[in-house]
Chains A and B, each alone.
Chain A
Amino acid sequence: MIVQVDNLTKKYKKEWVLQGVQFEINHPQIVAIVGPNGSGKTTLFNCMTNLLSINSGTIKVLEKDYKDTSLFYDVSYLQDNRILYENLTAYDHLQFVCSVMKQPSTKIVEVAKRVGMESYLKKPVQKFSLGMKQHLLLAMAIINNPKLLLMDEPLNGLDPSSAINMRKILLELYEEGTTIMISSHNLDEIDRLTNTIFFMKDGQILEESLKNYNMKQYFLNVNNLAQAKDKLNELSVSYTVNKDDQVVFYDNETSFQDVLIHLNQNDVLVEDIDIKRIGAEKRYLELFERTVSE
């Protein structure tokens, strides 16, 4: 188990910022947290790292209680650039992280090269652009090869080539076994990183987004729509019928096979199947438009 969050609530002043957040991550993957401003993404990360106290619920990270500070040897949190000390150089920051994380100082140059910030390693942060600060934050977050990397809006202020480089680094880290939880508004970039997206709204992870993450959308043309609907209702599959009389539903591969078998056994002929991978933007619009209209 990498992360286990159970019924997490957080109240700030009189407002509930997190309301029963619940999820598990059991194997290394990249998980995106997507939601409008104020939906509780940063608060979730802050609670997971004990920067904020919680009102109720449990959080376990790498099989340990989230309050255990020794977790930070294996967990990194890339935060807002306000955490940087303006009068110190990038080198000063990295040297400190290196020494606390008990990493050799050779790692400083190594990670600076990886991130592409060797040229301004010795410059004070106050002379950095937004993008340079993001580079430094990334370097600080990955210098200890974390098992879990939490990233709050890491793509802010990055130019296209930096964003590409960051994506490359994140995919490399994922390949190396790091679980990455990333919050971002850049849905295109999220799409390039992962299919696993937790959509958040009003302090909750939308249940449907949990069920359907890493899913595809299926469009079935059937010979008998009425019968197909009856049979699908028997299976308790949630579906819709679009204007082209196609049966549309989300599922993973296994359930899809169950649906096909069930329809076939009940003499519903599936004439054509169209499978679409659901983009983050589309899912976002679907989920949020629906919740707004509801």
Chain B
Amino acid sequence: MNNLLLFESKKIMKTLYFIILIIALFSFVSFYFVYNFVHTERADDYIYKNETVKSNFQSTIEELSITEESNAANKEEIEFFVNEIEELDMLSEAAKNYDWNTILNYEIANGEELVKMSPSQNVYTWPTGFTYEVVYEKNKWLLEHNIQPVFPIHSNSEITAYDRVFDTAIIEEIAYDFYNKYDSSSVYFLYLLIGVGLNIGGAIFFLFLFGNVVTREDIGRNGPINFLATMPLKSWKVIWSKLITTVLLTFLILLATALWGLLLGIIFDRFGDWNYPVLIYKPDSSFRFMEMGNFILLSMLLFFIVLIFCYSWLFLYSVLVKQTFMTIVLTIVTLVLGNLLSGSDIGRGLSFAPYNPFNYFQINDIITMEYALTAENFSFTIWNGIFSLLISSFIILFASYLIFKRKAK
């Protein structure tokens, strides 16, 4: 079997097409890292922001001071801004000394007030009380675990599933501007990379990468499959070795991409914190946090299983249509259609929906349980996903093998 695996790997890796796609993948990761690196809010940026706000406050104080009708209200206002400036100075000083605890304590105190002031859940505010609570608890988690925060960490720095209703596009844009979505530390960068890469788009990339694993054998057309068929090898070993090689190479590519992301972070920034909190939704407007490292591992595991499901379709179409481009197109059409239909309100509302493998392509949303929350069905779990993906992959692969055996003669 080992010789078959090695031979299959050579067949895949010794093509210009494969090499170009791998270079494209690593270039994308590198560019995305640069993009994140540039947009990361560091201590200096934090101080600069504070200084900008401070200078605005100072101008306001000056304007209020020179107003002829200086009265008690003005004085009160001036006092407020003076206090604000003092706080900003304190925060800037803390940032200068990388004293994150001071900053976190300040945000926790602010957050606590906001949480207390939040109206009941029946009254809509933006952000929601749920979000304030999340930010508050998150900052507490950062403080307790002595974690360097990823800026910004203020009360509006999080957008939860409950907030995704915006009155206007401008509000939406502003909201996302506040949202903490860039960081170039290794772990956080990997988390962000998972957000952009581990979805149906990422799966399609892998389909292109391994699209001709079976079709290159020209089954039924006196192609290379006849060479393998006239070796002392069982036919199931031939097809099985293709699947194993594809899965192994996928694993290695995912691992190498993750390591590359981590390495970029370590070299140009810092490693970050494995236990950075990631929000996980629970029923009844409750939530918990998952350590970012665990989140990354689970995401990669689920994506890996999703890819096996995609490959099973790829193999099925490979033995049916025997032509690479058509195979890839049909596989993509099946996956996209399956995903769209399953993801619709009707699709997600079906009783067996949690066991429909097409529902598990939104890796991030599945693990954070946002998918379950929006579908109002908390049976959409990673484990149900893995179960349904593996069972259906096995069935499709078995069917592919039967067709392969029939078509090969």
Chain A residues in the interface with B (C-beta under 8 A):
46, 49-53, 69-73, 76-77, 79-80, 82-85, 87-88, 92, 96-97, 99-101, 124, 140
Contact = CB atoms under 8 A, between A and B. Distances in A.
A99 B226 contact: no
A140 B11 CA distance: 17
Given A79-B222, A83-B222, A70 B11 contact: no
Interface stretch (B120-128, B229-237, B269-277): B229-237
B3 interface: yes
A39 B16 CA distance: 40
A70 B227 contact: no
Contacts of A83: 222-224, 226-227
Contacts of A140: 227
B14 interface: yes
Contacts of A88: 10-11, 14
Contact of B409 (A53, A71, A87): A53
Contacts of A53: 409
- B-side binding surface: helix, strand, loop or mixed? loop
B7 A51 contact: no
B211 to A, nearest CB: 15
Given A51-B409, A92-B7, A79 B232 contact: no
Contact of B232 (A73, A84, A92, A96): A73
B15 interface: yes
B224 A96 contact: no
B218 interface: yes
B226 A97 contact: no
A80 B234 contact: no
B14 to A, nearest CB: 5
Interface string B1-44: 00110110011001110000000000000000000000000000
A29 B296 CA distance: 65
A29 B334 CA distance: 55
B222 A82 contact: yes
A53 B407 CA distance: 11
A96 B234 CA distance: 15
Contact of A84 (B7, B16, B224, B229): B224
The 5 closest A-B pairs by CB, nearest first: A83-B227, A99-B3, A72-B232, A53-B409, A96-B7
Given A82-B224, A87-B11, A87-B14, A96 B230 contact: no
Given A72-B231, A72-B232, A87-B11, A51 B226 contact: yes
Contacts of B230: 49, 51, 72, 76-77, 79
A69 B232 CA distance: 5
A82 B232 contact: no
A92 B15 CA distance: 14
A8 to B, nearest CB: 15
Nearest to B216: A85
